[in-house]
């Protein structure tokens, strides 16, 4: 996959030469006891998060109906919940969203379960890109749904590959992460989205859109949920723009009738319900404008952390964006992904090999994803990147020497 920027906010760094702040940090960090994780795509804490949480909890404690958060289920969300959600989603969709299309869930993964069951039955086929979020395949296979792979390029899913798969497999749906794709950070262009929609309409294929990173990205196209609402099951949550402790997700169905059919099918199965206290806190933040401030703070922190991370990657090819929570490193000709993972683990730094994102085991892949949001602080991120960068630079020099 080549490194090509596709918008003013997109940034694919190829062989960066920034000077790290502390070239001795790699050695110093080897004695660290507690491991630093660069595995999970957790957003960094914005500067005002602690106080915003305190203020929100104080406001909830003053509510005259606080006892309802303990005594009542939220089911798919109240009318007020969906009104708040519709207003928030409207900012992303760049148009009004019918509240009747919205189902509140206990996060994005619960929304995936509902969406999959709504578009496919056991034995049916759903398409994914050759690199994608591995959790989606697990959910599909648990429901007896087959997954097939289509090729990607620097703009995401290839239309020709999609159309060929439609003819070959007669799929029920296509799963996409078109905005800050996990793990590549690709943002699919508007032109590509429109072409995908055209093919999906032609073959009657639904689109399941995972947009959990969408609100972090600036100057990006509208989601499929807005471009083709009649065929799209749009998924988002607050786990990647606030934190995974905010267990609230939104599933936007193609229309109100589809949402109601899904609710009828899953009624009484409480594992996917959003927790009432989480919903109340989210509603409070949405109404007060605090949510937008939190997201802006997370975005700004991501930009700062991207600068820290990239300065340790001199001579290494990678792809990312300033507003992404991770980087996608190409290790070809430098070091095997498993060797890098092992060497970093021996120095108390945990990272994930790129192969876990591959949907085709035959796909030649020697990459890793580095997450910048999970370390507790910028200093902790720099300490971790010093280790990763040190291993990579040592391997790169060895590879160059071997060629000579």
pLDDT tens-digit profile of 273-308?
A: 888 889 999 999 999 999 999 999 999 999 999 999
Residue 131 predicted with pLDDT over 70: yes
Share of the chain above pLDDT 90, in %: 78
Strands 232-237 and 125-129: unpaired
Mean pLDDT rounded to a whole number for the chain? 90
Question: Which pLDDT does position 351 carry in this prediction?
Answer: 96
Tell me the pairing of strands 206-210 and 173-176. Answer: parallel
The pLDDT value recorded for residue 2 is: 41
340's torsion region: left (phi>0), alpha (psi -120 to 50) or beta? Answer: alpha
Give percent of the chain above pLDDT 70: 90
Taking only the tens place, the pLDDT of each residue in 16-64 is: 444 555 544 444 444 456 899 999 999 999 888 999 999 998 988 887 6
Lowest mean pLDDT among 101-105, 151-155, 164-168, 241-245: 241-245
Q: Is residue 73's pLDDT more than 80?
A: no
Q: Could you give the CA distance from residue 340 to residue 116 in angstroms, rounded to a whole number? A: 35
pLDDT tens for 338-365 read 999 999 999 999 999 999 999 988 888 9
Q: Is 352 helix (H, G, I), strand (E, B) or coil?
A: strand
**pLDDT in the model for residue 263:** 93
Say if pTM beats, i.e. exceeds, 0.85. yes
Structural domains in the chain, sorted by start:
25-47+294-403 (3.90.1150.10), 49-291 (3.40.640.10)
Per-residue exposure over 386-402, b if at least 16 CB sit within 10 Å of its own CB, e if not: bbbbbbbbebbeeeeee
167 vs 40, residue with greater confidence: 167
CB 76 within 8 A of CB 103: yes
Position 399 scores a pLDDT of 66
């Amino acid at each position: 996959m080549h490194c090509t920027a596709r918008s003013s906010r997109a940034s694919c760094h190829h062989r960066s030469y920034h000077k790290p702040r502390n070239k001795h940090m790699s050695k110093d960090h080897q004695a660290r006891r507690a491991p630093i994780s660069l595995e999970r795509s957790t957003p960094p804490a914005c500067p005002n998060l602690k106080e915003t949480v305190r203020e929100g909890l104080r406001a909830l404690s003053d509510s005259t109906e606080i006892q309802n958060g303990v005594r009542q289920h939220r089911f798919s969300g109240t009318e007020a919940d969906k009104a708040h959600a519709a207003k928030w989603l409207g900012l992303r969709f760049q148009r009004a969203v019918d509240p009747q299309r919205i189902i509140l869930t206990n996060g994005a993964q619960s929304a995936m379960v509902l969406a999959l069951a709504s578009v496919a039955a056991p034995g049916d086929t759903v398409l994914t890109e050759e690199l994608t979020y591995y959790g989606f395949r697990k959910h599909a296979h648990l429901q007896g749904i087959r997954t097939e792979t289509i090729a990607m390029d620097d703009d995401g899913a290839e239309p020709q590959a999609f159309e060929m798969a439609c003819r070959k497999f007669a799929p029920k749906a296509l799963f996409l992460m078109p905005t800050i794709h996990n793990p590549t950070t690709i943002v699919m262009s508007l032109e590509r989205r429109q072409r995908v929609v055209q093919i999906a309409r032609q073959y009657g294929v639904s689109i399941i859109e995972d947009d959990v990173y969408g609100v972090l990205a600036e100057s990006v196209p509208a989601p499929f949920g807005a471009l083709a609402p009649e065929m799209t099951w749009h998924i988002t949550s607050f786990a990647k723009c606030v934190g995974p402790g905010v267990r609230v997700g939104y599933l936007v169905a193609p229309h109100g009738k589809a949402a109601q059919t899904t609710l009828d099918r899953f009624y009484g199965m409480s594992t996917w319900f959003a927790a009432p206290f989480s919903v109340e806190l989210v509603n409070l933040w949405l109404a007060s404008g605090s949510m937008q401030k939190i997201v802006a703070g997370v975005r700004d922190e991501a930009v700062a952390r991207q600068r820290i991370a990239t300065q340790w990657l001199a001579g290494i090819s990678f792809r990312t964006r300033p507003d992404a929570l991770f980087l996608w490193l190409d290790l070809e000709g430098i070091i095997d992904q498993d060797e890098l993972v092992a060497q970093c683990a021996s120095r108390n730094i945990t990272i994930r090999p790129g192969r876990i994102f591959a949907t085709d085991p035959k796909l030649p892949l020697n990459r890793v994803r580095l997450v910048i949001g999970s370390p507790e602080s910028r200093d902790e991120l720099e300490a971790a990147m010093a280790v990763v960068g040190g291993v990579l630079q040592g391997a790169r020099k060895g590879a160059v020497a071997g060629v000579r």
